[in-house]
């Protein structure tokens, strides 16, 4: 039925946007006043906050706005906050910007993901870089990120606030940033998000129940209520009210009862909206047989839409799902991404189903859901799992997951495996299986960081630390310290490393003690405290020799080689690197072998032995290509490019630097990208190609300002020199890359 109120609204010509999985009920009516208010806010670039009780139609209203926004928008992102981990949200916004393929957006995504920067600075810089386009960011079910706290003013009334401090800072910065993009929130609670935001910069859109005319229009859009007499519809509205979800549940209720029976039942008196929801849902569930009810309850533990595989895992089929849909217990939606039909449970229905369960039953369902994601990881590779994995299937799956996310030949496969692994971990965590959940985090956290999802990696590690103890907690703390080290928070990382080392020493875990001493050595080396670095690495190496761990010895000897090279003793450094190479071959660690050869190439380069240096780099490059270690490939290509540039082989140097640049961009390593750009700029400058050189230097400067501040003066000199067209040769920046790739993993 056409909404007559729409006749008074100007026909929209703006492009309709994807509603991003938001639910649209079978009949959407009314809300014209709210839609006008929201469209006016979009035109004025005001933040929008839609609030109301569960099922009142907040998400549906947001979907209708996306379908017809009333202003020209370049794109929209919908994040259903109840279906993701809080730590995932910033990464999803960054990925959205990255995926636009528009100038400046990749840089904006990198800045937004850079946890080394203060959150407000991250958002402001990213907003400035994305200013050329206009987006709508929808944060649906925002209340799932919030917690209640007592008001500091009254000491009695409740105030709702975003629970995670970092995420709270993100949203505050988002709604105060000066950019063309608009944020829209749907929430059951008002919250304190806008306490520091001028009232004229945002609009509050409270939703109430449908009035009589709107409720009748909704009933006329529903097949069973449509044919009821007008008097009965009016009586129904008077009895159950104008809550859209309640009316939809009433529609399902009429699959087995007549509207007259509802109206004439004296036991059913006027109730609050929440009570009507519970009444109808209880009655609807009673109409299901035991199998249907069990399957629907099992399905409710999943977040997001249900595909056929999920339904089958819960013991349901299409016939059963159609029965649920007929009773208004699930919503049917077309999945454009997967090309299949899927079903979703409204949050009100999901909460009702899960609220009926005890803790033990919830844990059982979470474990059942965890097994679903575990099976999805295994299924394509079941024939390749080793026979000896029998009895140790979970450990074998963990190894498979780690292998899939670390391989770089098929990034779609890697990202798909990561998505499954995170979901697997979430259900294990919810079931209280903290050690198993923590093992997944240990396997994937550094890859998440490599992909720029450092906030998510740190969030997962902090949850592991909070729920584990002893050895496993120490491992998680060490991994968190490594992320902090990579962010330049060296003192903080060093303090944690020392505490973790003490824990391992108390536990007598010598292998982990040695690994931790190597990491402590790295931090001291990065701080320039070489005497402490030498001392701690020698301690670690002594332990590795005591326990006969040749792989650990190879890593330790290689790091000593790096320290001697940094101190200018290249002869000792070369001897140690050759010793590390022999050890790496003995244990069959090709990645470590490539690292030692790369280190020898650097040493020979410093000793002015270009032929020997190129030979070592080429050997390292050959191994890295064979095993698919793209990070090491890029590092070796960078060093080869410098050597080729020094001997005047310009085309070869450009080829090496360009390939390294492409790989480093793909791997999301902005500091390495900056170095590649600097070297490319240097080659162009030597050739007199000043425009090309300036372009590379300026981009390298922007990256240095964000990711490598000590290099800023060097890049500024390059830019100034080329702008003046003075020619000359840039200073050869030292690029000791041996610290990369040789780090021990704390297991």
If one counts every other C-beta atom within 10 angstroms of the C-beta of residue 746, the result is 23
Give the residue from 318, 334, 356 where a domain finishes: 356
Does pLDDT of 424 surpass 70?
A: yes
Closest listed residue to residue 605, CA positions, set 578, 565, 634, 567 = 565
Start-to-end Cα distance in the chain: 63
Residues 202, 216, single domain; the answer is no
Which residue is listed with tokens 């839409």?
Answer: 305
- Largest Cα–Cα distance of the chain, in whole Å? 98
Structure tokens at 570: 């290249």
Closest listed residue to residue 376, CA positions, set 423, 341, 331 = 423
Does pLDDT of 507 surpass 60?
A: yes
Average the pLDDT over each of 70-79, 122-131, 449-458, 472-481 and give the range with the smallest value: 449-458
Q: Strands 47-51 and 202-206, how do they pair?
A: parallel
The answer to whether position 76 is within a domain reads yes
Q: What CATH number does the domain containing 700 carry? A: 1.25.40
Mean pLDDT over residues 393-419, rounded? Answer: 86
The pLDDT value given to residue 312? 92
Q: What percent of the chain has pLDDT over 90?
A: 36
pLDDT: which is higher, 574 or 711: 574
- The mean of the pLDDT values for the chain is 84
Q: Classify 164 as helix, strand or coil.
A: coil
The pLDDT value given to residue 401? 92
Helix 570-586 vs helix 590-606: crossing angle, to nearest 10: 160
Q: Classify 489 as helix, strand or coil.
A: coil
Residues paired with residue 148 on neighbouring β-strands, in sequence order: 160
Residues 663, 741, single domain; the answer is yes
The DSSP secondary-structure symbol of 124 reads H
pLDDT: which is higher, 149 or 88: 88
State the pLDDT confidence band at 3, using cuts at 50, 70 and 90: very low
Give the residue from 286, 309, 343 where a domain finishes: 286
Residues 121, 232, single domain; the answer is no
The answer to whether position 507 is within a domain reads no
8 A C-beta contact, residue 547 and residue 584: no
pTM: 0.78
DSSP letter for each residue of 90-110 = HHHHHHHHHTT--TTHHHHHH
Provide the domain count of the chain. Answer: 5
If one counts every other C-beta atom within 10 angstroms of the C-beta of residue 303, the result is 18
Q: How far apart are the C-alpha atoms of 346 and 98, rounded to whole Å? A: 31
Planar angle of CA 471, 475, 479, nearest 5 degrees: 170
The CA–CA distances, whole Å, from 423 to 420, 441, 611, 746 equal 5, 11, 50, 24
Mean pLDDT over residues 324-338, rounded? Answer: 71
The pLDDT value given to residue 158? 65
Residues 271, 296, single domain; the answer is no
Q: Classify 75 as helix, strand or coil.
A: strand
Alpha helices by DSSP H, listed for 383-489, are 393-406, 411-430, 434-450, 454-467, 470-486
8 A C-beta contact, residue 503 and residue 496: no
State the pLDDT confidence band at 333, using cuts at 50, 70 and 90: low
Residues 295, 190, single domain; the answer is no
Does pLDDT of 541 surpass 90?
A: yes
Within 8 A by CB and 6+ apart from 369, the residues are 301, 302, 313, 427
Closest listed residue to residue 474, CA positions, set 502, 449, 434, 455 = 502
Q: How far apart are the C-alpha atoms of 599 and 616, rounded to whole Å? A: 8
The answer to whether position 240 is within a domain reads yes
The answer to whether position 684 is within a domain reads yes
Alpha helices by DSSP H, listed for 210-346, are 212-220, 223-226, 230-240, 244-253, 259-264, 273-286, 290-299, 308-313, 318-326
Does pLDDT of 16 surpass 90?
A: no
State the pLDDT confidence band at 727, using cuts at 50, 70 and 90: very low
The answer to whether position 364 is within a domain reads yes
The pLDDT value given to residue 688? 86
Continuous segment of H or E residues that includes residue 182: strand 182-187
The pLDDT value given to residue 374? 93
Residues 300, 264, single domain; the answer is no
Average the pLDDT over each of 3-12, 214-223, 282-291 and give the range with the smallest value: 3-12
Q: How far apart are the C-alpha atoms of 138 and 50, rounded to whole Å? A: 11
CA R_g for the chain: 30
Structure tokens at 722: 């080329």
pLDDT: which is higher, 366 or 249: 366
8 A C-beta contact, residue 627 and residue 639: no
Which residue is listed with tokens 């190479």?
Answer: 581
Q: How far apart are the C-alpha atoms of 199 and 354, rounded to whole Å? A: 38
Q: Classify 203 as helix, strand or coil.
A: strand
Q: Classify 51 as helix, strand or coil.
A: strand
8 A C-beta contact, residue 447 and residue 440: no
State the pLDDT confidence band at 17, using cuts at 50, 70 and 90: low
Q: How far apart are the C-alpha atoms of 331 and 55, rounded to whole Å? A: 13
Does pLDDT of 220 surpass 80?
A: yes
8 A C-beta contact, residue 313 and residue 320: no
Which residue is listed with tokens 């977040």?
Answer: 303
Average the pLDDT over each of 5-9, 174-178, 645-649 and give the range with the smallest value: 5-9
For residue 542, which phi and psi values (nearest 5 degrees)?
A: -65, -40
Torsional class of 117: left (φ above 0), alpha (ψ -120 to 50), beta (otherwise): beta
Helix 230-240 vs helix 212-220: crossing angle, to nearest 10: 120
Q: How far apart are the C-alpha atoms of 205 and 36, rounded to whole Å? A: 11
Q: How far apart are the C-alpha atoms of 47 and 38, rounded to whole Å? A: 9
Structure tokens at 338: 């997967």
Residues 107, 163, single domain; the answer is yes
The pLDDT value given to residue 728? 41
State the pLDDT confidence band at 26, using cuts at 50, 70 and 90: low
Q: Classify 328 as helix, strand or coil.
A: coil
Does pLDDT of 251 surpass 80?
A: yes
State the pLDDT confidence band at 725, using cuts at 50, 70 and 90: low
Mean pLDDT over residues 361-373, rounded? Answer: 95
Residues 260, 173, single domain; the answer is no
State the pLDDT confidence band at 111, using cuts at 50, 70 and 90: confident
Closest listed residue to residue 57, CA positions, set 251, 247, 239, 195 = 247
The pLDDT value given to residue 11? 37
The pLDDT value given to residue 4? 40
8 A C-beta contact, residue 371 and residue 351: no
Mean pLDDT over residues 17-27, rounded? Answer: 64
Residues 433, 335, single domain; the answer is no
The answer to whether position 490 is within a domain reads no
Residues 407, 440, single domain; the answer is yes
8 A C-beta contact, residue 522 and residue 496: no
DSSP letter for each residue of 260-277 = HHHHH-TT-----HHHHH
Structure tokens at 379: 């299924």
The answer to whether position 576 is within a domain reads no
Q: In this predicted model, what pLDDT tens digit does every residue of 589-618 receive, in sequence order?
A: 998 999 999 999 999 999 999 889 999 999
Q: Mean pLDDT: which of 111-115, 539-543, 632-636 is highest? A: 539-543
Alpha helices by DSSP H, listed for 81-201, are 89-98, 105-112, 119-129, 165-176
State the pLDDT confidence band at 212, using cuts at 50, 70 and 90: confident
Does pLDDT of 732 surpass 60?
A: no
State the pLDDT confidence band at 435, using cuts at 50, 70 and 90: very high
Residues 342, 371, single domain; the answer is no
The pLDDT value given to residue 736? 39
3-class SS letters over 603-671 = HHHHCCCHHHHHHHHHHHHHHHHHHCCHHHHHHHHHHHHHHHHHCCCHHHHHHHHHHHHHHHHHHCCHH
Continuous segment of H or E residues that includes residue 517: helix 510-527
Mean pLDDT over residues 204-231, rounded? Answer: 85
Which residue is listed with tokens 């080396």?
Answer: 525
The answer to whether position 575 is within a domain reads no
Q: How far apart are the C-alpha atoms of 11 and 299, rounded to whole Å? A: 41
Give the residue from 463, 493, 509 where a domain finishes: 463
Residues 316, 279, single domain; the answer is no
Does pLDDT of 340 surpass 80?
A: no
Q: For residue 366, what are the domain limits? A: 358-463
State the pLDDT confidence band at 268, using cuts at 50, 70 and 90: low
């Amino acid at each position: 039925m056409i909404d007559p109120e729409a006749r008074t609204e100007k026909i929209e010509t703006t492009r309709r946007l994807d509603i991003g999985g938001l639910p649209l009920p079978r009949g959407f009516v009314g809300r014209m006043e709210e839609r006008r208010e929201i469209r006016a806010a979009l035109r004025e670039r005001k933040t929008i906050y839609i609030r109301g009780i569960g099922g009142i139609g907040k998400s549906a209203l947001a979907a209708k706005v996306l379908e017809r926004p009333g202003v020209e928008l370049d794109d929209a992102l919908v994040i259903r906050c109840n279906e993701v981990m809080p730590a995932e949200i910033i990464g999803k916004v960054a990925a959205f910007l990255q995926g636009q393929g528009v100038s400046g957006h990749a840089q904006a995504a990198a800045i937004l993901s850079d946890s080394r920067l203060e959150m407000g600075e991250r958002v402001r810089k990213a907003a400035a870089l994305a200013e050329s386009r206009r987006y709508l960011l929808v944060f649906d079910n925002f209340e799932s990120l919030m917690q209640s706290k007592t008001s500091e003013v009254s000491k009695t009334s409740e105030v709702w606030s975003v629970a995670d401090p970092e995420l709270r800072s993100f949203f505050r910065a988002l709604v105060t940033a000066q950019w063309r993009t608009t944020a829209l929130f749907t929430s059951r609670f008002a919250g304190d998000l806008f306490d520091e935001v001028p009232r004229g910069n945002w609009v509050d859109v409270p939703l109430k129940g449908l009035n009589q005319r709107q409720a009748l229009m909704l009933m006329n859009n529903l097949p069973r209520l449509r044919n009821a007499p007008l008097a009965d519809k009016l009586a129904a509205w008077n009895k159950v009210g104008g809550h859209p979800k309640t009316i939809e549940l009433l529609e399902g209720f009429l699959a087995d009862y007549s509207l007259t029976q509802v109206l004439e039942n004296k036991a059913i008196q006027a109730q609050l909206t929440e009570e009507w929801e519970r009444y109808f849902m209880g009655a609807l569930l009673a109409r299901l047989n035991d199998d249907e009810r069990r399957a629907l309850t099992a399905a409710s533990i999943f977040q997001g839409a249900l595909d056929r595989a999920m339904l089958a895992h819960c013991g349901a089929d299409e016939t059963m799902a159609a029965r649920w849909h007929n009773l208004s217990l699930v919503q049917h939606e077309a999945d454009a991404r997967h090309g299949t039909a899927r079903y979703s449970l409204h949050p009100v229905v999901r909460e009702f189903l899960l609220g009926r369960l005890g803790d033990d039953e919830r844990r059982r369902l979470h474990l059942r859901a965890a097994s679903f994601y575990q099976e999805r990881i295994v299924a394509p590779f079941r024939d390749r799992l080793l026979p000896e994995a029998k009895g140790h299937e979970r450990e074998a799956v963990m190894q498979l997951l780690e292998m899939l996310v670390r391989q770089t030949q098929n990034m779609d496969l890697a990202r798909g495996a990561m998505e499954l692994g995170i979901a697997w971990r979430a259900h294990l965590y919810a079931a209280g299986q903290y050690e198993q959940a923590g093992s997944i985090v240990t396997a994937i956290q550094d890859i998440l960081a490599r992909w720029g999802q450092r906030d998510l990696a740190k969030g997962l590690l902090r949850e592991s630390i909070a729920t584990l103890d002893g050895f496993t907690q120490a491992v998680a703390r060490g991994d968190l310290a490594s992320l902090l080290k990579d962010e330049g928070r060296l003192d903080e990382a060093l303090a944690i490393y020392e505490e973790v080392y003490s824990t391992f020493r108390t536990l007598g875990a010598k292998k982990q003690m040695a690994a931790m001493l190597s990491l402590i050595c790295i931090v001291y080396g990065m701080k320039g405290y070489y005497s402490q670095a030498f001392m701690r690495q020698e301690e670690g190496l002594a332990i590795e020799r005591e326990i006969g761990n040749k792989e650990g010895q190879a890593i330790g000897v290689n790091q000593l080689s790096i320290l001697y090279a940094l101190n200018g003793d290249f002869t000792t450094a070369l001897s140690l690197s050759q010793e590390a190479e022999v050890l790496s071959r003995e244990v069959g660690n090709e990645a470590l072998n490539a690292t030692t050869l790369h280190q020898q190439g650097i040493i020979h380069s410093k000793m002015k032995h270009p032929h020997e240096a190129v030979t070592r780099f080429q050997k390292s490059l050959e191994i890295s290509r064979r095993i698919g270690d793209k990070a090491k490939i890029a590092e070796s290509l960078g060093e080869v490019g410098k050597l080729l540039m020094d001997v005047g082989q310009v085309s070869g140097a450009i080829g090496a630097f360009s390939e390294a640049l492409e790989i480093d961009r793909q791997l999301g390593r902005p500091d390495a990208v900056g170095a590649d750009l600097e070297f490319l700029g240097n080659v162009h400058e030597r050739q007199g190609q000043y425009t090309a050189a300036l372009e590379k230097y300026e981009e390298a400067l922007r990256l240095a300002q964000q990711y490598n501040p000590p290099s800023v003066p060097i890049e500024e000199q390059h830019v100034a020199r080329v702008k003046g067209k003075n020619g000359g040769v840039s200073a050869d920046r030292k690029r000791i890359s041996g610290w990369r790739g040789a780090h021990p993993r704390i297991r």
